[in-house]
Structure 1
Amino acid sequence: MPNETIPSRLFKQAERRPDAPAHHIKSGGVYRPKSYRELADEVKRLGKAMIALGQAPGFTVCLLGFNRSEWVAFNVAAMAAGGAPAGIYTTCSPEEVAYIVHHAESQIVLVEDAGQWAKIEKMLGELPHLKHVVTMRGAPRIDHPIVSSYEQFLDKGKDVTDEAFFARIAALEPQGLATLIYTSGTTGPPKGVMLSHQNLAWTADTAQRLVGGTAQDCVLSYLPLSHIAEQMFTIHGCITMGGSAYFAESIEKVPDNLKEVQPTLFFGVPRIWEKFHAGVQGKLKEAKGAKKALVTWAMDIAREATAVKMRGGEPSGALGLQYKLAQKLVFAKLKAAIGLSRARTCVCGAAPVSKEILAFFASLDILVSEVYGQSEDTGPTTFNLANDMKLGAVGTRIEGIDVRIAEDGEILVKGPNVFLGYYKEAQATADTLQDGWLHSGDLGQFDKDGFLSITGRKKEIIITAGGKNIAPKNIEAALKNHPPIAEAVVIGDRRKFLTALVVIDPAAAGEIAGAPGADPAKLRDDPTVVAAVQQAVDRVNATLARVETVKKFHILDRPFTIERGELTPTLKLKRRVVYDNYASEIDGMYEGAQDA
């Protein structure tokens, strides 16, 4: 139907299944349900408030907070009223928050608590468009003329009619702007990915088909809602299926909440699966004697059984009997202990994951479907189906999407999930979107069976193990502004945190150490020079989001050179050569490191 949008789907769910749970919110130590009727009513009141405050179609709002029912309601309300919500990572610095709020020209911002409000308050002088800040439920009262509590904001639209609100939903166009996903490019500040109502609705339908989603499904919402993947699971997918979302209490509480909820659908970035892997492996190593033999036998059976399932078959005969026994004796308890006893579909995406991790979970009777895509195509390009899977590949092309490999190896995508362009960035849009084809910036190849493998990236961008996209050049440029740092190379691709290789300026370092003209190789170990570099790193870190901060550095004993292949003839850094030349030094910064 022409006006099939996420907001219209919410109100249809509320009409058909008013008492079914849409959200589950932890309160008083237990999860309490919020029905589709209650969620739809809240969205309507929020949307009316936005209309009452003069928000004409085409407006934007920003959302800054951890995963909450209010986040979802505010997001959908903005879309319903003809606006575009833009999520901001909770770890963003005040400067980064202000950039997005100002770039989006948002007059309304939803914040979780006093801590997030403090970021806005610090930058108020640079936010001329901002008129209203709304705090989520339970936040302490903030005495400021532009701040309203959630309840106060809900009441602002009491004089707006239902007809006026639903007229806004009816007027939504499939190709109209629905949401902004701010994502870092290779250089410069974040860009706002413009996704249409069709992008969201089509992708949610596709996701439902890929996972066989039903109204009985539930998810645990815990990854940042400013990321399109979590939005697709928590907001668009759930509303489309009529399923329910449980909201984690905090990142720290995710393991406990996962065991409590036992979701039927689970999405995790590689770092989450790596943590599971480390925890389970540690427990398995404790097994002795007969217990160890039983677990080893069960894992061997699971490897055989899941190999059959990944080829589209079902374990039968002797293998089938042993597989059922292994599930009963070992895997049922193990999955429940992790929180995946009911998980029908497990997904990994947002960053590359090692084949070894996926193979380990397959040996535990947990098939993890790797998905590949980006914000610019609303999340998915290819997907590994449970009955058509290759570990180490990122799946086959999703039906309805065209994917081809350009002559230079770049992955190109065309389809109803491809974005409208970058908000207020005509040149960046023209560079990325050509004749309807999204130029992904990733390099890949298809095998004879149609499975895609990612071979590299054209863009110099870091994707951490947690799935965060980080532009290293911006951080490196900031570091070089502080003596005695002359050059810096930030590392962190597929890693837990960022580190840096640092080249010092001999003159500046000699002055700091009180030893002008000293050998640079000796200066790198001078305590005062090391302290100066640490101070420089600390100063830069203070301006960055937590995931962007440099946790460790290694001072090199020489500058980068053309002769060693580290610089081009025009003195541009050849990042891959630097990584190779200093592989042992880089690995040394991560040896024995805990999560940062």
Structure 2
Amino acid sequence: MKTTPQYLLENLKNFPKEPALSIKDKNGNWNTDNWEQFYHEVLTVAKSFLSCGVQKNDKISIYSYNRKEWNICYAAAQFVNAVAVGVYHTCSSEEVEWVVGNSDSKIIFVGHNPGDNDEKEKMPNHRLFACLGNLEKVKKVVVLNGVEKLDNSKFISWNDFISLGNEIKDNQVLDITQNLELEDTSSLIYTSGTTGNPKGVELTYKNWSFLMKGLLTFLKFNQSEKIISWLPGAHVFGQALDNHYWVRR
């Protein structure tokens, strides 16, 4: 039995030119990456992780609405045996401070909130900025394209972050990916927090494989068939479909 990143490597081998992920731009046009293109984007981010000293079980938070970079960063974290932590794009400063701080995340990717109505207090970058002084373990805040990079030494643009991995060799990443084990932690998913602060639940690749076995009894999509990303990436079933089932099918 393989881990999800190892399935992605199989897709690269078996379906390199087949569509992997499509995103609609602001003009309503669909831009599609094939598996080869998606793999190289993941590998590029994974190299930057290694250049930043990311090690096994280090936490990587993704604080954004669904977008292509969500999938890329999630997969890249797993390629280097780090742990992806989804943060809802609607989280307040207090909520994001709790999740990022409780998880001991070292790197945070910050995207957008389509419901911000141009109000800064609803924008993830401003919400994180307000509490960043309390998050000493955060080393870098990577601002995704289209999001304002605020004045803090920890903030870095997407393009500048990508360039950090230029000296890292492919095999430095792939040696880790190819040796992932089912008991390795894949992601940390936080509960809703209805009875107190949200609690982080560790999910291993074995946990995801068990869930995939159940999903495959009634979700019978095949390679090249389309799935719409609807649930937030921070949601457990959103991750199940968009980051695991999608790759394994």
Tell me the TM-score normalised to structure 2 length.
Answer: 0.91
Name the structure 2 match of 1:109. Answer: 108
Mapped to 2, the partners of 1:228 and 1:33 lie a distance apart of 25
| 1:13 to partner: Cα distance | 0.5
Mapped to 2, the partners of 1:9 and 1:232 lie a distance apart of 14
The answer to whether the Cα contact below 8 Å between 1:61 and 1:86 also exists between their aligned partners in 2 is: yes
Mapped to 1, the partners of 2:41 and 2:212 lie a distance apart of 22
The answer to whether the Cα contact below 8 Å between 1:60 and 1:84 also exists between their aligned partners in 2 is: yes
Q: Which runs of 5+ in 1 are unaligned?
A: 242-596
Secondary structure of the residue aligned to 2:30 is strand
Residue 186 of structure 2 is aligned to residue 187 of structure 1: no
Amino acid at match of 1:182: Y
Deviations 1:246-284 (A, max 9, x none): xxxxxxxxxxxxxxxxxxxxxxxxxxxxxxxxxxxxxxx
Name the structure 2 match of 1:235. Answer: 243
Name the structure 1 match of 2:232. Answer: 224
Mapped to 1, the partners of 2:159 and 2:215 lie a distance apart of 34
1:14 pairs with 6, 12, 15, which one?
Answer: 12
| 1:219 to partner: Cα distance | 1.4
1:133 pairs with 131, 137, 141, which one?
Answer: 141
Amino acid at match of 1:150: W
2:23 pairs with 22, 25, 41, which one?
Answer: 25
| 1:186 to partner: Cα distance | 5.1
Amino acid at match of 1:45: T
Name the structure 2 match of 1:122. Answer: 130
Mapped to 1, the partners of 2:54 and 2:206 lie a distance apart of 22
| 1:185 to partner: Cα distance | 4.6
Secondary structure of the residue aligned to 1:7 is helix
Mapped to 2, the partners of 1:103 and 1:141 lie a distance apart of 24
Mapped to 2, the partners of 1:21 and 1:137 lie a distance apart of 23
Deviations 1:342-383 (A, max 9, x none): xxxxxxxxxxxxxxxxxxxxxxxxxxxxxxxxxxxxxxxxxx
Name the structure 2 match of 1:154. Answer: 162
Residue 59 of structure 2 is aligned to residue 60 of structure 1: yes
The answer to whether the Cα contact below 8 Å between 1:85 and 1:179 also exists between their aligned partners in 2 is: yes
Q: Which runs of 5+ in 2 are unaligned?
A: 113-119
The answer to whether the Cα contact below 8 Å between 1:44 and 1:165 also exists between their aligned partners in 2 is: yes
Name the structure 2 match of 1:564. Answer: none
Mapped to 2, the partners of 1:196 and 1:62 lie a distance apart of 17
Name the structure 2 match of 1:90. Answer: 89
RMSD: 1.6
| 1:132 to partner: Cα distance | 0.4
| 1:137 to partner: Cα distance | 2.3
Secondary structure of the residue aligned to 1:32 is strand
Deviations 1:437-487 (A, max 9, x none): xxxxxxxxxxxxxxxxxxxxxxxxxxxxxxxxxxxxxxxxxxxxxxxxxxx
| Higher relative contact order, chain-length normalized (CA < 8 Å, sep 6+) | 2
| 1:178 to partner: Cα distance | 0.7
Write the mapping of 1:317-336 to structure 2, written as runs, cut at 5 A.
none
CA gap of 1:149–1:54, structure 2 versus 1, over 3 A, is: same
Secondary structure of the residue aligned to 1:110 is strand
| 1:101 to partner: Cα distance | 0.4
Secondary structure of the residue aligned to 1:19 is coil
Write the mapping of 1:346-357 to structure 2, written as runs, cut at 5 A.
none
Aligned residues: 239
The answer to whether the Cα contact below 8 Å between 2:110 and 2:143 also exists between their aligned partners in 1 is: yes
Secondary structure of the residue aligned to 1:37 is helix
Secondary structure of the residue aligned to 1:218 is coil
| 1:103 to partner: Cα distance | 0.5
Mapped to 2, the partners of 1:94 and 1:142 lie a distance apart of 15
The answer to whether the Cα contact below 8 Å between 2:125 and 2:147 also exists between their aligned partners in 1 is: no
Mapped to 1, the partners of 2:245 and 2:55 lie a distance apart of 27
Residue 165 of structure 2 is aligned to residue 166 of structure 1: no
Name the structure 2 match of 1:38. Answer: 37
1:211 pairs with 219, 224, 234, which one?
Answer: 219
| 1:49 to partner: Cα distance | 0.6
The answer to whether the Cα contact below 8 Å between 1:205 and 1:240 also exists between their aligned partners in 2 is: no
| 1:58 to partner: Cα distance | 1.1
The answer to whether the Cα contact below 8 Å between 1:66 and 1:90 also exists between their aligned partners in 2 is: yes
Deviations 1:301-341 (A, max 9, x none): xxxxxxxxxxxxxxxxxxxxxxxxxxxxxxxxxxxxxxxxx
| 1:204 to partner: Cα distance | 2.5
Amino acid at match of 2:23: I
| 1:86 to partner: Cα distance | 0.7
Deviations 1:545-596 (A, max 9, x none): xxxxxxxxxxxxxxxxxxxxxxxxxxxxxxxxxxxxxxxxxxxxxxxxxxxx
Amino acid at match of 2:86: G
The answer to whether the Cα contact below 8 Å between 1:22 and 1:34 also exists between their aligned partners in 2 is: yes
Mapped to 2, the partners of 1:116 and 1:154 lie a distance apart of 21
Instruction: State percent identity of aligned pairs.
Output: 28
Secondary structure of the residue aligned to 2:61 is strand
Secondary structure of the residue aligned to 2:91 is coil
Mapped to 1, the partners of 2:17 and 2:185 lie a distance apart of 31
Mapped to 1, the partners of 2:150 and 2:19 lie a distance apart of 32
The answer to whether the Cα contact below 8 Å between 1:182 and 1:192 also exists between their aligned partners in 2 is: yes
Mapped to 1, the partners of 2:146 and 2:92 lie a distance apart of 23
| 1:160 to partner: Cα distance | 1.2
Q: Considering only CA atoms, is the larger Rg found in Structure 1 or Structure 2?
A: 1
Deviations 1:53-101 (A, max 9, x none): 0111110011111111100110111111111111111111100100110
Amino acid at match of 1:134: V
